[in-house]
Structure 1
Amino acid sequence: MRRGVAKAARWGARVAAVMLVAVVGLGGSAGASVADEKPRSTAAYLADQLRKSPVHLSDQLPRTNPLSARPAFLKEAKRTGVPTYVLVLPGYGAGRDGLLAAVHDRLGKDGLYLLFGGDGGSPDTETFGVDVPARDAAMATTFELPYDAGTLDTFRHFVDVLRSGEATERADKAAAAGRAGEEPDKLYTSRTDRKNQGFLTGILLTGVPVLIVAVGWYVRRWRGGKGPGLRLLVPVAAAGALVIGVGAPLVFDDTRTTGDPVPTAADMAARTDRVARGLRADPVYLDPLAAGTLSPAQLGRLRERAKRLEVPVRLVVVPLDTADESAGDGELLAKRLHDRLGDDGDGVYVIADDSENGELEVVNHGAELDSAALHDATEDLRFGEGGESDAGVYQRLDEALRIVDRLPSAPAEGPYLEPMAAENPVTEDELPSLYAEDFVPGTLMGVVGALAALGVTAAGLGIARHIGPGVRSAATRASATGTGGASGSTDPQAPARPSTGWLRRTARRELDELNEEYEQLSGNLPDAARTRVWDHLDAATLLLDQEGDNRVDADADAPTLAAGLALIRTGRAVLAAGGGRHITSAGTRLCVLNPLHGPATATRKLKLPGESGGARSRPVCAGCRAALEERGTSTSGSRAAHIAGVVGARLLCLRDPGAARSAPHEPYHRVPGPLAAPQGTGRDAGPTADQIVRRVREQLGVH
């Protein structure tokens, strides 16, 4: 959770990267500043650390890359096959261009040099005297790993790519996928994911057993007492609940939101101990990797001014990072330092982030000053003068000392406000139980869903009871064949409940065919017919290829695809008829049951689902007409039931745009899109191709 926003932002930067995403930063580990020692350069300090070990982990990142994880990093470094030097530092590398080259110059050893930021992300790489595809491996790692990968995950993946022998190919492929907006699956379960998992588990744990018992009981009652009774249903439901309850934790088995190593108590205390040792020798502590923040002259002036004050003042310039022991809170770091120094540490603590725009905190821990007055007087220094980040670190530190010097003496006090404790580094990444948080709402939703399913079952069985066995058989044949039982039907293939994939594939194929046919046959058509075919082809292209890349849009929804396919098929019908009058005028009216059947050729009285009143004359295609005219029995009641069955089997039904795959299909005229019935109008006439053309052009602003 603590790194979600930062990682999401970094992933956005990955997609825009062209060569290498550098994640570098400032930080340091052991070492202390002393009064008579000039600050060493960042590169010199890092070179000293790499002489001790080829892997240097900053002690300022215990929450993500604790010092105790060094053996794991060393193991990966040895797998590269060449001398490898690894730096893991806080921050994201502002102004760190050329750092690895400078470290190499001072260390004087050839090899592969890697610089990681403290929160994952691909490394900065440099090679000296070794021939390995480090940049390609870093590029592939950038796009092949998801944003929740930690530093150790990233290093391990980088080495795998480096050793694969396909680093260049993988880099090109991954970069292309990144530019296309493709993202790899997450490695770990987030807290939000766990809530969703608990919600789903709750739904299944109650919904499935209730559904088994309720629907089984109702079906038995509907069949006149035949079928399994409660003595069988209840044990089956209980067994289902047991399987779900035991199986869910095995399926959703993640326990932490990240793969970062868990820090020890020593890891969490390492930087505090280091800074405290430095403060015992010098009232001004400059972090070893922040050497460029203050010049030697500025450092000397601050030291002399701090020593002249009547109250003890300790200045600390150090990187503040959410992954450090204080979670990036300067006030909390001041408290930890005071606790570590004990009674000898009473005084005013000034904690400054090492960046120009960083945080600055002034906290009183036992100095003879009014803590509230100190807090108010230094408020503007926290982020620069006047609340703006226009003052450098030195100017803000110098002003803080001047303010302390001007404040009158008062009884010794503690901080104006006690800082909030940082989250426990061991538990902050732990996932809650699957049966916590959203599990209970899920159980309630499971009962509601099961009862809703019971209602749907009851309604379906009620309709089946009224239709009767003979009509159910006819409807079943119509649904299976797509022809309503009519032999010799000529309507094109058009399932009543087409999938989005089928619509997209069919529209793509038939749009290409209509383009070819129009080029070949349009010259033989009358002007009116040629214009109508062009209007249908143009509107279908506008609707299906809104990106303008001569391809059916991959994100087009089912209603859009269906409308485009209906226009395509009507245009092809006009071409096939040679511009005949019945096609170019009345024939533009589409089949009311399924516009994908193309132009209507007749009218029949029928009633659409959900309508009130009696049957009305509607346009239908030849196939639907034949299906409606098929006579199952001679009675009028059976005739009406037969028509209702055919309508139910052949009526085009689609899912709402954006609906899940499990969502029910709805009659096409009720689904938002170009085929939807206009508000406030009847549906007697059904949709026409010309109406769809006008809607498309109005929607897209084309005239």
Structure 2
Amino acid sequence: MSSDPKRTAAVLAAAFLAAAFLAVAPAASAHASDHDPSAGERIARALRGSPVYVDASYTTAVPPSRQRQLAAEIKKTHLPIKVVLTPLTKGDAFDGESDVLADVVHDRLPQRDLILITTDGDFPDTLNGYEWPSDTHQTDDAARATAFLDETREAGLADMTAKAVELVAEGDGTKVYEEATKDLRSPSPDDGTSKSVSHGSRSWLWLLIAVAALAALVLTGSRLASRRRSRTADVPELVFATARAADEAELRRRAETEVLALGEATREAPADRTPALQQALDAYTAAGTVLDAARGVPDLAGVLALVAEGENALSGTAAPLPLCFFNPLHGRATARTTWRPLGRRDRLRIAACPGCATALTRRRPPEVLTDTAPDGRTVPYFEIPAERSVWAATGYGSYGSLTEQVNRGDFTRSLG
């Protein structure tokens, strides 16, 4: 009896993937019992007050104003939707598994019917969907579809989550997912029709994506050492469809979204209960000024820093911290520390994110945002002369109010 070598290879590959899935599934289930109960309870407690939980490290991507918008959109659906956006890494309270996170949160929430949208542990810029007691609203497919739709493929986390909520409410996530991924499914050698991708908690599609990514990197002899690395024809577009490219175009879209969200938040804020409303409005004006004239990543990072100042004013937080001094794209700082720049004797008091603070403690150089010096060299942004860069002059807010300096014309003068 003759056999088709291609068909045999396909069957063997499918068997290998199935065996791998079955091997890791029990381990994932076991992790559910080894989790840190305080982490799950903390998230569940927050979800009892709001349908949206965003970890502090994601508040730059999904600021409080966007969180309120998402909560309002969820309320309009009249569905038991909850959103948990938190980084997942191997060895954390959920062992980096969104399945474990979902089970833990579900166990600690009182309602029987629940729709949960979470971040993914393997692909941080994608979403997973879960529903109890059954996937009536096609939540799984609705969440995963956002990584493949043209409108959200390179969108920020807030926009992807909003789209997932919209698809869940419409109830046709499977149709949308299959349409968005139809080009990724090969015709069957038997009947020429496309086979559907299986919808497990760990779809084979994601395994195939990982294999494709590895093969592409081996063939090109390099790896993705920078998130802003240019796309090349040698790397399958599918790999990039599952990861948000942190390039200037994406950052500009993100900055535009956050400025609009800050504007809406200031308009909705009650004047009698928002003592610093004028400061928030000033920050909104400054952010718009910089966004309109932004010439690159350092300027766009400045937009995010100004939005953060506006959000601080709205929240009324005492002595709020700005974004990370070393790289505002790291998100909000969590502590102030002293730091001595290389070649200088004086020490600066700056605000740092957890990663940069740890690097300083271990005497390692933090990852810094770079800019172009007048002589054309690429240098840390804070090495640009202060008269040529309002960001160097202010440390993106570490040295005082960035809003005041932009609104008095420092940014415009530095452009000149």
TM-score norm. by structure 1 comes to: 0.25
Bigger relative contact order, structure 1 or 2 (CA pairs below 8 A, ≥6 apart): 1
TM-score norm. by structure 2 comes to: 0.40
Question: Who wins on radius of gyration, i.e. which is larger?
Answer: 1
